[in-house]
Amino acid sequence: MDDFIREHRLDDVRELALQAQRYPNVDMKGALQQIDGWQRARKKLPMWAETDGIVYPAHLSMEQCSSELTARYKAGIVERGERMTDLTAGFGVDGTMMAQKYGQATLVEQNEELCAIVRHNLPLLGVKNAEVVCAKAEDALHELARQDLIFLDPARRDVHGGKVVSIADCTPDVSALQEELMRKAETVMIKLSPMLDIKSVVRDLKGVSEMHVVSVENECKELLVKLCHSAEKVRTFCVNIDADGEAEMFDFADEMEVNATCRYVSEVGRFVYEPNASIMKAGGFKVLAERYGIGKLHPNSHLYTTDDEIADFPGRRFKVVKVSGLGKTETRGLLDGLTQANLSVRNFPMSVAELRKRLKIREGGDKYLYATTLNDNRKVLLLLDRIK
């Protein structure tokens, strides 16, 4: 079967499945799982895809596992130590990366098939200091000796396969286990859904010291919560990782946002800035304006402006081409024959679809068109050029 997988791993999996009768001596279900897994790993887990002999799990496990980019980020924010345990290892991506920071690592997974796969893969990936334990997270936690780090990625699906987002509905329920978790570890790190409200997470969990909002190519992927015994204030780290693994960072403490002074403006300067997805999720909008010395168009617009270009702004940067109101004559002058643009609305009473219909422009092209509200409540259209 290995030869078949290598020969066909670039083929379309669905088309290959329809040709199963042509290969009666091949375990087609198993082969298709490995081909599909490798194809997904090429982008999501390149280290796995480039390693000969790796075995891949079923589709759902590949879909739910962390990407290599986010796993490397996790490994980068944990301290080196003697012992760590991943209580919800799954396919083992996060555990594989973090194990390299510790003398001894334990990867706990309750699915026996996944345990066997991870045991097979670890030595191929060069991880020789980790053991795999097949057990429920709660049972393993009860038996656990003191650790430097305990990591959990609670399952966010119910028994019917439906997605859940509240901490209490995840498996295991870390809010119910947090006292025991803190007794057993110096630091606890939890991966949560990006759909969760950050304030509710801080309210529901004790000892939150850090909140990491992680995006990949400007799509928010996960919340990472660090709990520690010495936590006094929460610091939020907003990270946006590009395809090459380079990270755009912005961080702030809660009191910074409370105490920051933000200047709101009713005129658009030469440049417009939009924060990346992680900042949009985490907030910190006032401290962002204060730190970069820029004006905010409106308290609810989350767009910023200045006459000076800011090369290191954590988000998208635009040069202003034209600004107009919504009158027919104004919009006609703004568009001036433009037939397509990348349209967005920010704090605006119309949807993208409604505005696109009104303006009669198609999606795409190299121009950006933002509909928003200024601080004096004027509704405007911003025609912009993206700065790469």
| 230-256 per-position pLDDT tens digit | 878 899 999 999 989 999 999 999 899
Average pLDDT over residues 359-382: 96
314, part of any domain: yes
Lowest-pLDDT range of 12-26, 156-170, 195-209 = 156-170
Q: Are residues 197 and 105 in the same domain?
A: yes
Q: Are residues 249 and 265 in the same domain?
A: no
| Whole-prediction pTM | 0.92
- Report whether pLDDT(386) > 60: yes
131, part of any domain: yes
49, part of any domain: no
- Report whether pLDDT(86) > 80: yes
Per-residue CA distances from 356 to 15, 149, 274, 349 (Å)? 38, 50, 21, 13
* Of 191, 224, 255, the domain-final residue: 255
CATH number at residue 206: 3.40.50.150
pLDDT, averaged across the chain: 94
272, 305 Cβ separation under 8 angstroms: yes
Return contacts of 99-105, CB within 8 angstroms, 24+ apart.
Answer: 99/127, 99/129, 99/130, 100/75, 100/127, 101/75, 102/129, 102/148, 102/149, 103/129, 104/129, 104/130, 105/129, 105/130, 105/131
386, 318 Cβ separation under 8 angstroms: yes
51, part of any domain: no
Q: Are residues 251 and 268 in the same domain?
A: no
- Report whether pLDDT(162) > 80: no
What is the percent of the chain where pLDDT is above 70?
98
Residue 26 token pair = 């091949």
47 vs 171, which has greater pLDDT? 47
Q: Are residues 197 and 269 in the same domain?
A: no
**Amino acid present at 102:** Y
* Of 255, 283, 298, the domain-final residue: 255
Q: Are residues 229 and 358 in the same domain?
A: no
CA 72 to CA 251: how far, in whole Å? 19
- Report whether pLDDT(153) > 60: yes
CA 157 to mean position of chain CA atoms? 18
Judge if the upstream peptide bond of residue 172 is cis by omega within 30 degrees of 0: yes
3-state secondary structure of 96: helix
Q: Are residues 135 and 67 in the same domain?
A: yes
- Report whether pLDDT(265) > 60: yes
pLDDT the model gives residue 161: 55
3-state secondary structure of 331: helix
pLDDT the model gives residue 158: 56
pLDDT the model gives residue 359: 93
Q: Are residues 217 and 346 in the same domain?
A: no
Average pLDDT over residues 36-65: 96
Q: Are residues 297 and 341 in the same domain?
A: yes
50, part of any domain: no
Domains: count for the chain: 3
Count CB atoms within 10 A of the CB of residue 367.
17
54, part of any domain: no
Q: Are residues 265 and 245 in the same domain?
A: no
pLDDT the model gives residue 157: 62
pLDDT the model gives residue 25: 86
* Of 210, 231, 255, the domain-final residue: 255
**Amino acid present at 55:** V
CA 121 to CA 85: how far, in whole Å? 18
pLDDT the model gives residue 160: 47
185, part of any domain: yes
- Report whether pLDDT(159) > 70: no
Q: Are residues 164 and 82 in the same domain?
A: yes
Count CB atoms within 10 A of the CB of residue 357.
11
**Amino acid present at 83:** R
Task: Provide the pLDDT confidence category of residue 145 given band limits of 50, 70 and 90.
Answer: very high
Q: Are residues 201 and 272 in the same domain?
A: no
- Report whether pLDDT(100) > 90: yes
55, part of any domain: no
Helix ranges (H only) for the chain are: 2-8, 13-18, 28-44, 46-49, 59-64, 68-77, 93-99, 112-124, 137-143, 174-184, 198-204, 254-259, 277-282, 285-292, 328-335, 352-359
Q: Are residues 316 and 172 in the same domain?
A: no
Residue ranges making up the domain that contains 322: 260-387
